[in-house]
Each structure stands twice: as C-alpha cells, then as structure tokens.
Amino acid sequence: MVDTEFIKMLLISALAGGLLGVERELKVQVIAGTRTFMLASITGTLSVYLASVASIPWILIVSMLGLVLLVLLLGVIKNFRTFDIGITTPVAFFLAYLIGVIVGLGQYIEAITASILVTSILVFKKYTTILSEALGHEEMRSAMEFGLIAFVLYPVAPDYPVDPLGVVNPRMLLLAVIVVSTTGFAGFLVLRFLGGELGSDVSGALGGIVSLRATAGVLSAEAAKQEEAVRNMLRGMLLANSTWVLRNLLLVGILSVTLLKQLWLPALVMGAATAVSALLLVRREGEDRVELSLRSPFAILPSLRFALLFSVVVAVAGYLGPNSPALYPVAFLGGWASAPASLASLASLVELGRLEADAAAAACVLAMAGGALGAARVAISRCRSPGVRFLGAVLLGALAGLAAVLAR
C-alpha cells in the first residue's frame, strides 16, 4: 500500500529546500543550485524517516556528519577555488538539510516558515548592504542602545502605574518611546537610502516624520542661502508639518484607540490645512535641492528626555484632574517642548481612565499646535520670510483643528 504521508513529506521537503536553491542560482558563481539544495533537504527527511520507521537510529547521525563534510567541501571550493569569499552558501546548504529534518518530524508549517525566512534573508542581502553603508557607526551604536529598550526593558516593564498619583505606566511610556523612535527612524532611513540632495517637497515630507523642528530649521536656513527658493522651502516646511501630524496620529492610535476615535478628524483637518496651503497656495519656483542632515532618532539621550517630559506632563495633568481648565495650557506647553511626549501622556491618561477622551482630544490639538509653533519659532530665527508664513499656516491649521473638536 502506498504511504501517501511519506510522499507528501518528500514533496514538501523538496520544495522547501529548492526555494533556497533557486535564490542561490541567481548568483554569478553557482556552486550549489536548486537540485543540490533539494537533495540536501530530502536527505534530512529520509534520515528522520529511516531512524523512526525503519528503526535505524544511527542513520541520522551518519547523514548529519556527511552533510557537515559536504558543507566544509563547499566552503573550500567557494573560498579557495572560485575566490568568492564568504560562507553564506555552505550555511544555507546545512540549513536546507535541517529544514528537511523538520519536515521528517511532521512539522510542515514550521519547515515552510523556516524556508521562507531563510530565503528572505538571502534575498535581502542587497538591502542589508545598502543599510550598512547608509548608517554610520554612531547610528548603529544608537540602534543597539534602542534595541535594549525595545527588546529587553519593554517586555519586563510593569504594565500598571508605579507612582503615588497612579498615572505613570512604565510599559506605556516605553511603548511611546518605541513608536516615536521607530517611525522617526523609518523616515531617517528613507532619507539615507535616497541620499544626497533632494527636492524640498520630498525632504520636507520625509523630514516631518523624523523631526518637524529640525526639518523646519534646515529648510528655513536653506531659504536664507537661496533667496530664489523661499517658496519651495516654505512648501517643504508645510508638507513636513502635515506628515508630522500623521505620525502623531499614529502614535495616539497605538496607545489609545479610544482617544483616536475623538482625535482623527481634528488631526486630519490640521494636517490637510497645511498640505492644501503647500500644494495649492504656494507655487513652486524652478528646481531646488537641499541636503537634510538630521540626527538618528535612535538614541538614548532623546529617549530619556522624552521619558522625563512624558512623566512630568502625565503627573501634572493627573494631579490637576480631568475637569481642570489648566489641563489645556499644560498640554500646549508640553507640546511646545515635545508634542509626541505630550500626546503620549494624554493617551496614557485616557487609557487609565483618568481623563475623558473628548477633553484629551482638545488637549492633543493644543499640544500639536504648541509643537508646530515651536518649529515656526525655529524657522523664523533662521529666515524670517518663510518662517512667518509657516507660522500663519500653522495657526490656521490649529484653529481648524480646534473648530473640528468643538464641532464634535
């Protein structure tokens, strides 16, 4: 009688190993291709099958030793015969064998997942190379420090208030730091990948994801150097404000869906006001290029400042209580210092049940207005003309956002 389960194992093993081999065949110098990888995977499956069904336990050890010898041989050929320095192919070959072993154990989903993951790592070599070239030593060190926050501190942080007022939740604080830094780093990476000097529209839109204040300062300073590009730099600042508002909305949505339901419309109105001003009211004048040099958001010191401001705002707002009118100037001043920290603290209070969502939404609009006005102050200090017009557009957006809050 035909053992259909055995046939299924062989087919899955061949496909899982062959997937790795197909990627290896795309290289210029091929020392092990699709068929070789398929055979290595099938060897692992057959070894497990014979060890369990035919009661030949030593076959698995023998096959693994044989694969190790083949891996060493592949390494010698690759490095000393073809002079293609590296051990990726031998390692991938051994992993194909192990994937076959997993198939032989009946773990089909796990084996297919491992095959796709390994193939993805092999395919993404080009992009990881670009990443390593785009990031300097300082950025890599900062990313490692940030990794400690995201993967070591966050999982073990208490998910409940630890202060006497009962308002500072360490887990939510770290989540806010992770979201702000990760979204900012995404924009930072895109800027590094594109490299060199970009148009003011692209620079502004991407820079707003990283830091509105820094982007507005750079573009305004560039306007002072290129008087003919004042309008273009103003467009860039307005677009930076729009993407910055969207990033803030994403932060709130991750921390508090309840607050997001109240804030999404006013925030979109604020962002749309400056985007419309940029695209419809400010006409481009010729071509321009600007190099947006921003610091990586992955760093310990900015994260500590964020955490400190978060704690101060959430403590003051929690102490004032949900019905205190003083909440709004506190949110505005917190936003002037750091809008994301102020927004995160308000979202935290909503989740803890210490603040109503509608009051928090109005405070969030004021916090974003404070952050945008802080960026306008920096822009005016670098070049008055675009800075003042940016200030006017930001005030218009803030008023539109407040009107949207009151209309609800």
pLDDT digits (tens, 9 = 90+) for 37-88: 888 889 888 888 888 877 777 887 888 888 888 778 777 776 666 556 667 7
Which of 73, 97, 123 corresponds to the end of one domain?
A: 123
Of 160 and 286, the structure prediction assigns the larger pLDDT to 160
**Residue range of the domain that includes 24:** 4-123
Residue 377 has pLDDT above 90, yes or no: yes
Task: Say if residue 309 is in the same domain as residue 359.
Answer: yes
Which tokens hold the place of 227?
A: 């008087």
Task: Say if residue 81 is in the same domain as residue 165.
Answer: no
Residue 408 has pLDDT above 90, yes or no: no
Residue 376 near residue 390 (C-beta atoms within 8 A): yes
Model pLDDT, residue 19: 86
Residue 1 has pLDDT above 60, yes or no: no
- Give the CA count within 13 Å in the CB-facing half-sphere of 71: 19
> What is the Cα 334 distance to its own chain's centre?
25
- How much helix, strand and coil, in percent to the nearest 5, is found in the chain? 80, 0, 20
Residue 317 near residue 222 (C-beta atoms within 8 A): no
* Distances, alpha carbon 20 to alpha carbons 9, 32, 117, in Å: 17, 10, 10
Q: With bands split at pLDDT 50, 70 and 90, how would you rate the model's confidence at 6? A: confident
Question: How far is it, in rounded angstroms, from Cα 201 to Cα 106?
Answer: 54
Question: How far is it, in rounded angstroms, from Cα 117 to Cα 146?
Answer: 24
The dihedral region occupied by 82, where left means phi > 0, alpha psi between -120 and 50, and beta the remainder, is alpha
Which of 69, 93, 123 corresponds to the end of one domain?
A: 123
Amino acid at 250: L
Task: Say if residue 323 is in the same domain as residue 188.
Answer: yes
131 within a domain of the structure (yes/no): no
Model pLDDT, residue 80: 65
Question: How far is it, in rounded angstroms, from Cα 368 to Cα 271?
Answer: 10
Task: Say if residue 112 is in the same domain as residue 205.
Answer: no
**Dihedral over Cα of 377, 379, 382, 383: its sign:** negative
How confident is the model over 18-27, as a mean pLDDT? 77
Residue 349 near residue 360 (C-beta atoms within 8 A): yes
Task: Say if residue 111 is in the same domain as residue 157.
Answer: no
400 within a domain of the structure (yes/no): yes
Task: Say if residue 366 is in the same domain as residue 291.
Answer: yes
381 within a domain of the structure (yes/no): yes
Residue 29 has pLDDT above 70, yes or no: no
130 within a domain of the structure (yes/no): no
191 within a domain of the structure (yes/no): yes
Residue 381 near residue 223 (C-beta atoms within 8 A): no
Mean pLDDT score of the chain = 83
Task: Say if residue 144 is in the same domain as residue 110.
Answer: no
Question: How far is it, in rounded angstroms, from Cα 372 to Cα 267?
Answer: 13
Closest to 243 measured CA to CA, from 207, 216, 283? 207
Predicted model pTM: 0.73
Structural domains in the chain (count): 2
How confident is the model over 191-205, as a mean pLDDT? 75
Helices H / strands E in the chain, number of each = 17, 0
Question: How far is it, in rounded angstroms, from Cα 161 to Cα 164?
Answer: 8
pLDDT in tens, 75-126: 777 666 655 666 777 788 788 888 988 998 888 888 888 888 888 888 776 6
Residue 380 has pLDDT above 90, yes or no: yes
Task: Say if residue 257 is in the same domain as residue 373.
Answer: yes
Angle separating helix axes 230-255 and 200-210, nearest 10 degrees: 30
Model pLDDT, residue 251: 92
Which of 73, 100, 123 corresponds to the end of one domain?
A: 123
DSSP annotation of 198: B
Residue 350 has pLDDT above 70, yes or no: yes
Model pLDDT, residue 212: 92
Task: Say if residue 82 is in the same domain as residue 201.
Answer: no
pLDDT in tens, 240-294: 999 999 999 999 999 999 999 999 999 999 999 888 888 776 666 666 667 677 7
Task: Say if residue 192 is in the same domain as residue 267.
Answer: yes
Q: What is the DSSP string of 58-94?
A: HHHHHHHHHHHHHHHHHHHIIIIIS----SHHHHHHH
Which tokens hold the place of 362?
A: 């109005």
Of 42 and 304, the structure prediction assigns the larger pLDDT to 42
Closest to 225 measured CA to CA, from 293, 295, 291? 291
129 within a domain of the structure (yes/no): no
Model pLDDT, residue 336: 94
Task: Say if residue 60 is in the same domain as residue 107.
Answer: yes
301 within a domain of the structure (yes/no): yes
How confident is the model over 194-200, as a mean pLDDT? 69
Specify the DSSP element, H or E, that contains 43.
helix 34-52
Model pLDDT, residue 257: 93
Model pLDDT, residue 85: 63
- Cβ contacts of residue 46 below 8 Å, gap of 6+? 10, 63, 100, 104
Residue 388 has pLDDT above 80, yes or no: yes
Task: Say if residue 213 is in the same domain as residue 281.
Answer: yes
**Dihedral angle of Cα 343, 348, 353, 356, to the nearest 10 degrees:** 10
320 within a domain of the structure (yes/no): yes
Strand, helix or coil at 206? helix
